[in-house]
Amino acid sequence: MRELKEKILEEGVVLSDDILKVDSFLNQQIDVELISKMGKEFAEHFKDRKIDKVFTVESSGIAPALATASELGVKCVFGRKKQSLTTSEDVYHSSVFSFTKQVMNELIVNKEFINEGENVLMIDDFLANGQAAKGMIAIIRQAGANPVGCGIVIEKSFSNGRKLIEDMDVEVYSLARIAKLEDGNIEFAE
Annotated binding-site residues for xanthine read 20, 27, 156
Least distance from Na ion to the Cβ atom of residue 27, Å: 6
Cα 144 to the center of its chain, rounded Å? 20
Per-residue binding string, Na ion, 59-88, x by CB under 5 A, is -xx---------------------------
* Paired residues of 106 in beta bridges: 95
Q: Quote the least distance from Cβ 47 to ligand G4P, whole Å.
A: 25
Residues that bind ligand G4P (CB under 6 A): 19-22, 27, 59-61, 98-101, 125-132, 156, 161
| Nearest position to Na ion, beta carbon | 60
Of residues 92 through 131, those in contact with Na ion by CB under 5 A are 124-125
Positions in the binding site for Na ion (CB under 5 A): 60-61, 124-125
